[in-house]
Amino acid sequence: MDYLSFNAGMIPDASVLLAQRHYRNRIRLHELPARFEQAQVTAKAIETLLAKRNAGGFAALRAGKFVAYLIGETTTQPWGRCGYISMHACGLAEDESPEIIQDLYALLGEQWNQMGCFNHYAYICAADTEIVEAWFNLGFGKERVDALLDLRTAEIPKVEDPTGIEIRRVVKGDGDFLASLSDTIWRHQTRAPRWHPITPEEIMKQPEGWAEIAETETDMAFLAFAGKEAIGSLAFYVEEEKDDDMTIPPHCRYMTAAATKESARGRGVGTTLTWHGLRQIHENGDEFCLTNWQSANLLAARFWPRFGFRPVAFRLARMINPAIAWAK
């Protein structure tokens, strides 16, 4: 086995591996977009990644035959310097062991650590169970779940508003109502067992970002009211297909801004908002709904699968002890 730095000349071989992998994954997860079964589509995804200034990786060749690749990119986030591996940044021949991916990560991760990138992340298709296990054996843990709901086959019941609650669609001018709910999610994320901090500058941007939902005509968003007080929200925006996103099927909406004030929980607000919203986007002609949640956000992790959302990808994370920079 030879391990070489990945270069543009390897894209044709890598694109075939990726297309074949996606074909196998769609047997288990039909919700995934079919277009990535085509090598010309996967080649475009890999080209887009490799063109990024901070991207690079390695390939594995067995007796001269291309059998695996791993590409990562580095970035700086508020919590530190990070290395990311996207779903389309990893490929493995069907008859090869996931241990090869581990060897490629050892090469790539060493480069990241030398750059001071000690936060490592890998997005892996949920159908790639053996590859997920290989990452777990490297010390990675599941951090985020991306999930799809097939609206074409989902059974969406008609639900009545809870007693004393009014559900209605967001209209222009509702920005202040949405902004009043903008701290609901991040405050919950700071608590046990998620413990995810948020910076002051991010907090300042939240109200404006939520208020913008009311001004986007293509979005479909909903509010729950108890009297004149907004106590819950849910938004769906059109998710355009992308050359480098293997989770977005055609006619898809992304579900976000799912919030219920803590004082109003347990009254069926979130459930009613969800079923009402899913019915509306399905009647609008949408065929899929995509969302994600943090694995350690127990409320979300236990809530969304009840509606039929199926995990299609995981973000795995590993935090390297920065003392490795000097402890060698």
Average pLDDT over all residues of the chain: 97
Cα dihedral sign, 121-126-127-132: positive
Which of the four pLDDT bands, split at 50, 70 and 90, describes residue 15?
very high
- Whose tokens are 């019915």? That residue is 279
What's the rounded mean pLDDT across residues 50-63?
A: 97
pLDDT exceeds cutoff 90 at 85: yes
Instruction: Using alpha carbons, list the distances in angstroms from residue 118 to 2, 52, 179, 231.
Output: 26, 20, 35, 39
Residue 26 pLDDT: 98
Which of the four pLDDT bands, split at 50, 70 and 90, describes residue 7?
very high
> Residue 291 has which token pair?
């969302």
As a whole number of angstroms, the distance between CA 175 and CA 215 comes to 8
What's the rounded mean pLDDT across residues 246-261?
A: 98
Cα dihedral sign, 274-276-277-281: positive
Residue 241 pLDDT: 95
DSSP string, 222-269: EEEEETTEEEEEEEEEEE---TT-TT--SSEEEEEEEEE-GGGTTSSH
pLDDT exceeds cutoff 90 at 302: yes
9 Cβ contact partners less than 8 Å away, ≥ 6 residues apart: none
Alpha helices in the chain (DSSP H): 11-28, 39-50, 99-114, 129-136, 175-179, 184-189, 200-211, 269-283, 298-303, 324-327
pLDDT exceeds cutoff 80 at 328: no
Residue 236 pLDDT: 97
| Chain segment 203-219, per-residue pLDDT in tens | 999 999 999 999 988 88
| Chain segment 217-230, per-residue pLDDT in tens | 888 999 999 999 99
258 Cβ contact partners less than 8 Å away, ≥ 6 residues apart: 185, 233, 234, 235, 270, 273, 274, 291, 300
Beta carbons of 145 and 301 less than 8 angstroms apart: yes
Instruction: Please give the share of the chain, as a percent, with pLDDT higher than 70.
Output: 100
| Chain segment 142-188, per-residue pLDDT in tens | 999 999 999 999 999 999 999 999 999 999 999 999 999 999 999 99
CATH 3.40.630.30 domain range(s) in the chain: 2-145+316-327, 155-307
Domain 155-307 falls under CATH 3.40.630.30:
yes
Residue 78 pLDDT: 86
As a whole number of angstroms, the distance between CA 266 and CA 76 comes to 39
- pTM summary value: 0.95
Cα dihedral sign, 49-52-58-59: positive
| Chain segment 277-293, per-residue pLDDT in tens | 999 999 999 999 999 99
Instruction: Using alpha carbons, list the distances in angstroms from residue 274 to 2, 186, 188, 239, 310.
Output: 51, 20, 19, 18, 16
Options 3.90.1150.10, 3.40.630.30, 3.40.50.20, 3.40.50.300; CATH for 2-145+316-327 is 3.40.630.30
